[in-house]
Amino acid sequence: MKRVVTRSGDRAKGRLEAFSDGVFAIAITLLVLEIAVPQVSGDHLLEELLRERPTYLAYFIAFMTIGIAWIEHSALTEALDHVDSGFQRLNLLLLLLVGFLPFPTSVMSEYLSTVDDKQGGEQVAVAFFGVALFLISLVLLGLGRYAAREGLFGDDAAEEHTEESRIRYQLAPSLVLYAVAIVCGLFSPYLAVALYVLIGVFLLLPVQTLRRWLHRSD
Amino acid sequence: MKRVVTRSGDRAKGRLEAFSDGVFAIAITLLVLEIAVPQVSGDHLLEELLRERPTYLAYFIAFMTIGIAWIEHSALTEALDHVDSGFQRLNLLLLLLVGFLPFPTSVMSEYLSTVDDKQGGEQVAVAFFGVALFLISLVLLGLGRYAAREGLFGDDAAEEHTEESRIRYQLAPSLVLYAVAIVCGLFSPYLAVALYVLIGVFLLLPVQTLRRWLHRSD
Amino acid sequence: MKRVVTRSGDRAKGRLEAFSDGVFAIAITLLVLEIAVPQVSGDHLLEELLRERPTYLAYFIAFMTIGIAWIEHSALTEALDHVDSGFQRLNLLLLLLVGFLPFPTSVMSEYLSTVDDKQGGEQVAVAFFGVALFLISLVLLGLGRYAAREGLFGDDAAEEHTEESRIRYQLAPSLVLYAVAIVCGLFSPYLAVALYVLIGVFLLLPVQTLRRWLHRSD
Amino acid sequence: MKRVVTRSGDRAKGRLEAFSDGVFAIAITLLVLEIAVPQVSGDHLLEELLRERPTYLAYFIAFMTIGIAWIEHSALTEALDHVDSGFQRLNLLLLLLVGFLPFPTSVMSEYLSTVDDKQGGEQVAVAFFGVALFLISLVLLGLGRYAAREGLFGDDAAEEHTEESRIRYQLAPSLVLYAVAIVCGLFSPYLAVALYVLIGVFLLLPVQTLRRWLHRSD
């Protein structure tokens, strides 16, 4: 999309990026539709807006997760020299999961609410959400592996190396952490939610910028 | 979008790709809005989530169909040298059908459900969905034909040849298969649904990658 | 977006095109959300799907209108050398109207329905929809005029001339026709709907392709 | 996206622009979903459409705000030489707020309505909306500051200077004005709404074009 391109594989990559950007952008923006407008009398509006905290939290985690997945996806495809038809299909699987995320988000925010007759479902709702996050990380990791094995990075060994360490130090640990969070959720749903937030923060760490700041303050 | 472009037709092609990517991406992501959040007490959440299987299946087939249509569309427009105003209009018809797909998807998922008073409509719902899939394949095929007849491939005979064989070995057979599935659906709706999945898998076959793997294992 | 660009105005044009493509693509795809899934017993599904004809018609006209507006917008911005901040604002007004269109569409499809207690509102609903179509054409025409007056076409006199004749022979007559349709609608709503379809077909005429076919058959 | 690019930072910038354009475009178009179709008998349709004025007003202000934020964002990123991973995260925060805006918009339009049992909540609803507008301006300002401090403008001192004066003369004052409007809203909600419109108009002023017109009339 951003280079003078002469090979067909590279043009396919530009389309794949544009289509993926679209799906990520839409999924992340649709999340807000799940937040219901309060239907209470005007006097209790403030109270009601404050009571919807679990909804805001679910919105925030889901937004952060899709945002991270987009950043990872963006870093991966930029490092690639070209894409092949297998990569296109695996990418479609990632988009399927990303596009599906608003549903578990919405289930979780509904069943974390304080309304009485919904209580008792927190464990299931939180685990369901966690499984979706786990699968997104898994397919992202799979995309990177596939690209390396099929030689999609071209001759750019540096790019491939960066991707390798990103998988080793961020994506792979996150898989373990999500699994832990899901198991925790069976006992304490709110602990799991706290872990989802922490994993998100961990994945969001702008390693490159932080390192520059550390060096500067020397 | 990805080349240093000097002719006006090529610029129109970039816009057409961007707009189409947008519509495909949105239609594919809107599908999730059709999945309703369970409104049951917390104790029955897991049960209810499992009971929504027809909905997940409908989501999956529709997602796969739009994904395939995007891959085909992407392959076709990349092979083109330029687009003309007739191609733009025919493309708009394709987008009309793609944008409409969430509706038959939603009807099918509603009437495949196990709720009693909706039973009896599976045949109609499944056939309605199948007709939409059939029409999308038909217009995709029509776009390829139009491009060949109007010389939109330019001098690139290889590209035109690839497109020809794609039409012959994937799109044209899929039309016959969809027609068979729709007729089957009048007797056994679930058989038709199974056929939709199989046709999707057939269209998704990453011929190019599979061939490379086969050669490698020689 | 598609050229090696060196001037700042041209870069602003690329962003404006991308953002506009997004809004057009989303508005056109959101239209389907207005079509409600039938809530009848399975036996009456077919009947109910057929009864929703006014809804499909409204969907079709609105889809066609946004599609045409996109084609016109695409032709105009491609002809431009650069955009200025005034053009950006006027363009935002166009997007406001395009983004708003799903609402009058939905009102019209609701009040054209055959449900008894909604009858009597067809005139208002059809006129409301027509006013939206009229305003979209008006702002499109305004964008072309503004571009010509501010010299945004650069030195490309041919492009400016094409745009001039597009305004004279398609956009300007469509304004008159929409006004006629709105007035007709006060007496016969269905006549107005038929006129909307005809105006859409008129604006969709792929003049360039038709002319080529005519010449070929000589 | 619009230049022959050779450095990795610049390619990341292209993806960031495309993704942001997507989120802005979707958020701005989703706003229309908040406008409910009247459910009254046909005779009262016109009356009901006119009664929904607060909804149209909320739609208009929110549309204008997102449109302005997009114009500002577009001007900022175009001036940049490249983006870093810190900018990517801060940008994600901006998109979070932009994607969230349809919710306060919808709350405000609901509680400004004339339905009796919703009255009394206007102050809260209007302030909630104002806080969202304030935060969007704040993060936009933060993005500009961050870019200047991290040297993301490259060697282009002119671009950095333009951005500086944009912050000083438009964004910074708008923060003060939003704060004033929120406080006013606690006493008179409609005054606050009027101020939101005025701030929007102030931010929309196409300074560049106006100046050209003034000079021309000399």
- For residues D160 and D153, the answer to whether their CB atoms sit within 8 Å is yes
d(CA B19, CA B96): 13
pLDDT of residue C114: 58
**Would the CB atoms of D208 and C33 count as touching at under 8 Å?**
no
pLDDT of residue C6: 37
**Would the CB atoms of A3 and D1 count as touching at under 8 Å?**
no
* Closest residue to A41, CB basis, from D26, D95, D120: D120
**Would the CB atoms of B88 and C206 count as touching at under 8 Å?**
yes
Q: A204 falls in which pLDDT band (50, 70, 90)?
A: confident
pLDDT of residue B178: 93
Outline where chain C has alpha helix (H). 8-30, 45-51, 53-79, 85-100, 102-111, 122-149, 157-166, 172-187, 189-204, 207-216
CA angle A173, A177, A182 (to 5 degrees): 150
Task: Please compute the mean of the pLDDT values over residues D100-126 and round it to a whole number.
Answer: 80
Q: Is the pLDDT of residue A15 over 70?
A: yes
Q: Is the pLDDT of residue B207 over 70?
A: no
- Interface partners of chain A (CB pairs < 8 Å, 3 or more) are B, D
pLDDT of residue B92: 92
d(CA A111, CA A116): 10
Q: B200 falls in which pLDDT band (50, 70, 90)?
A: confident
Smallest Cα distance from A176 to chain D, Å: 24
User: How many CA atoms lie within 13 Å of A145's alpha carbon, on the beta-carbon side?
Assistant: 10
* Closest residue to D4, CB basis, from C4, C19, C95: C4
Nearest chain B residue to A106 by CA: give it: B37
User: Which residue of C28, C51, C160 to mutate against B (max B Cβ within 10 Å)?
Assistant: C28
- Of A46-50, B42-46, C4-8, C128-132, least confident by mean pLDDT is C4-8
Give the B-side interface with A, CB within 8 Å: 1-4, 17-18, 21-22, 24-26, 28-33, 35, 37-38, 41-46, 49, 59-60, 63-64, 67, 70-71, 74-75, 78, 204, 206-209, 212
Contact residues, chain D, for C11 at CB < 8 Å: 2-3, 78
* Environment class of A39 (CB within 10 Å of its CB; exposed 0-12, middle 13-18, buried 19+): exposed
**Would the CB atoms of A32 and D33 count as touching at under 8 Å?**
no
Task: Please compute the mean of the pLDDT values over residues A148-161 and round it to a whole number.
Answer: 78
d(CA D193, CA D58): 9
Task: Please compute the mean of the pLDDT values over residues A184-211 and round it to a whole number.
Answer: 82
d(CA D46, CA C31): 22
d(CA D139, CA D172): 11
- What is chain D's mean pLDDT, rounded? 82
Contact residues, chain C, for D37 at CB < 8 Å: 103, 106-107, 110
pLDDT of residue D49: 85
| Identity at B140, one-letter amino acid code | L
Contact residues, chain B, for A120 at CB < 8 Å: 41-43, 45
Task: Please compute the mean of the pLDDT values over residues D174-184 and round it to a whole number.
Answer: 92
Contact residues, chain B, for C46 at CB < 8 Å: 121, 124
Q: Which two tokens stand for residue C72?
A: 């016109």
Q: Is the pLDDT of residue D188 over 50?
A: yes
User: Which residue of A28, A46, A214 to mutate against D (max D Cβ within 10 Å)?
Assistant: A28
Contact residues, chain C, for D60 at CB < 8 Å: 96
* CB neighbour list of residue D170: distance below 8 Å, 6 or more residues apart: D72, D202, D203
Smallest Cα distance from C47 to chain B, Å: 10
User: Which residue, A143, A28, A136, is CA-closest to D19?
Assistant: A28
Nearest chain B residue to A108 by CA: give it: B37
pLDDT of residue A7: 45
Q: What is the DSSP letter of D38?
A: P
- For residues A19 and B21, the answer to whether their CB atoms sit within 8 Å is yes
- Of A210-214, B106-110, B151-155, D143-147, least confident by mean pLDDT is A210-214
CA angle B111, B116, B120 (to 5 degrees): 50
Q: Is the pLDDT of residue A57 over 60?
A: yes
**Would the CB atoms of D11 and A78 count as touching at under 8 Å?**
yes
**Would the CB atoms of B208 and A85 count as touching at under 8 Å?**
yes
| Residues of chain C under the 50 pLDDT cut | 1-8
User: Which residue of D2, D15, D66, D100 to mutate against A (max A Cβ within 10 Å)?
Assistant: D15
User: Which residue, D69, D121, D113, is CA-closest to D95?
Assistant: D69
Q: Which residue has the higher pLDDT, A62 or A165?
A: A62
Task: Please compute the mean of the pLDDT values over residues A138-159 and round it to a whole number.
Answer: 84
Long-range own/partner contacts, residues B163-172 (CB < 8 A, 24 or more apart): B163/B75, B163/B76, B163/B79, B166/B72, B166/B75, B167/B141, B170/B72, B170/B202, B170/B203, B171/B72, B171/B137, B171/B140, B171/B141, B171/B144, B172/B141
Q: Which residue has the higher pLDDT, C37 or A217?
A: C37
* Environment class of B27 (CB within 10 Å of its CB; exposed 0-12, middle 13-18, buried 19+): buried
- Interface partners of chain B (CB pairs < 8 Å, 3 or more) are A, C
Q: Is the pLDDT of residue D128 over 70?
A: yes
* Closest residue to A22, CB basis, from D22, D102, D110: D22
Give the C-side interface with B, CB within 8 Å: 1-4, 17-18, 21-22, 24-26, 28-33, 35, 37-38, 41-46, 49, 59-60, 63-64, 67, 70-71, 74-75, 78, 204, 206-209, 212
- For residues B64 and B199, the answer to whether their CB atoms sit within 8 Å is no
Smallest Cα distance from D94 to chain A, Å: 12
Q: Which residue has the higher pLDDT, B33 or D156?
A: B33
CA torsion angle A132 A135 A136 A142 (round to 10): -170
d(CA D21, CA C22): 7
Nearest chain D residue to A75 by CA: give it: D12
pLDDT tens-digit map of B142-179: 998 898 888 888 776 777 777 777 777 778 888 999 99
Q: D218 falls in which pLDDT band (50, 70, 90)?
A: low
pTM, two decimals, is 0.85
State ipTM: 0.81
Q: A1 falls in which pLDDT band (50, 70, 90)?
A: very low
pLDDT of residue C4: 37
**Would the CB atoms of B107 and C38 count as touching at under 8 Å?**
yes
